[in-house]
Amino acid sequence: MKSLRGMIAVLAVLLCFTSTIFAAPVRFGVDSFILGAQMRVALEKGFFEKYGIAAEILTFSYGVNTIDAILTNQADFGVCMDFALLTRLQTDKLVILATIIEPKPGWHKLVATADIKEAKDLIGKRMGVAPGTLQQYVTLKYLDVNGIPRNAVKYVELPSLFDIVAALGKGIDAAWVWGTGVDEALKIPGIHLICDDSAAGHRSYGFLVASAEFVRTNRDLTVAIIRALIEATDWIVGNLEEAAALVAKQVGAPEQTVLEEMRREGYCFKIDKAHIDSLGALLTWMYEARIIERPLVIEYYINAAPLWIVDPTRVGFHL
């Protein structure tokens, strides 16, 4: 009996050791707030481990920084909103695997000094922008919608949300802010809220993006990652308050603030024609506006095959 117990103990240790050895290391880039919540949850709740993935979560200021990390071989996967993602597609080194959020309008909010009360008051003013991000697109689109020439506004590029908020009323007169930055901005004397991004006439989506080379050379692993992230997404949808508490702890933000924002995110894991059409229309606009150097066909950059293998019902178009 003692010998049998000993053998069982040794076998348990060997199984644990083997599991550790064969867990595949994968680097996931997320932003410093809630974009990438599925990855944080998948790690914390053991979904990655379940599918043999040794996940490393890397935090960056913006979603676009997660894409740049893929391009510089610092990460294998990233999460990004549509506009920022499309500015990087022309590298031909990225693939879009799934839509992971369908947020309601209202994420970005325009705040400004007291003398700015409507769009026309922005003429001649200094606006803070986060270059290469959705915030920059919303800034430009809002001007376009209101018939204000883009060159009628002075742009001040700032590296983070914290820097944008800190510059309000000092280096800049107005900016679109988001997340925890909204409350912080409105604490500044003389700064007030004008509108949210529904006034810019754009519906945004967030995507899971990967290194094209990684997906090409790690097909089974990519499928395993999709399985883990689908489980994490479904768990978030069914346990939003618990998920918000988990994410809030990781990002160091107030739990109620995180919960309110996560309620707006529209967590999903799918890709359908509406997402493709939206990206295609945005690409056309970006080329015409000379934001990208050449016309791109969005379908070339979408690889829905791993998702179709896991769950064909989540792919809403013909491959």
For residue range 10-53, what is the model confidence (pLDDT) as tens digits?
Answer: 444 444 444 445 689 999 999 999 999 999 999 999 999 999 99
Of the chain, the end-to-end C-alpha distance in Å amounts to: 58
Residues 40, 250 contacting (CB under 8 angstroms): yes
How crowded is the C-beta side of 223, counted as CA atoms within 13 Å?
10
Question: Under 8 Å CB-to-CB from 217, ≥6 apart: which residues?
Answer: none
- At 13 the pLDDT is 45
Angle subtended at Cα 55 by Cα 313 and Cα 235, rounded to the nearest 5 degrees: 45
Q: Which CATH architecture has domain 108-200?
A: 3-Layer(aba) Sandwich (3.40)
Task: Write down the pLDDT at residue 132.
Answer: 75
Overall residue count recorded for the chain in this entry:
319
pTM (two decimals): 0.77
Closest of 52, 93, 51, 40 to residue 209, by C-alpha: 93
Domain layout of the chain by residue ranges? 23-103+205-316, 108-200
Report the pLDDT value the prediction gives residue 134, as an integer from 0 to 100.
Answer: 79
CATH topology of domain 23-103+205-316: D-Maltodextrin-Binding Protein; domain 2 (3.40.190)
Same fold, 23-103+205-316 and 108-200: yes
Give the phi and the psi of residue 225 in degrees, each rounded to 5.
Answer: -65, -40
Please name every residue paired with 80 in a beta bridge, in sequence order, or none if there are none: 207
Q: What is the pLDDT along the chain (319 residues), one digit of tens a residue?
A: 445 454 444 444 444 444 445 689 999 999 999 999 999 999 999 999 999 999 999 999 989 999 999 999 999 999 999 988 999 999 999 999 999 999 888 889 999 999 999 999 999 999 999 987 779 889 999 999 999 999 999 999 999 999 999 999 999 999 999 888 999 999 999 999 999 999 998 788 999 999 999 999 999 999 999 999 999 999 999 999 999 999 999 999 999 999 998 998 999 999 999 999 999 988 988 888 788 899 999 999 999 999 999 999 999 987 6
Residues sharing a CB contact under 8 Å with residue 299, sequence separation 6 or more, in sequence order: 276
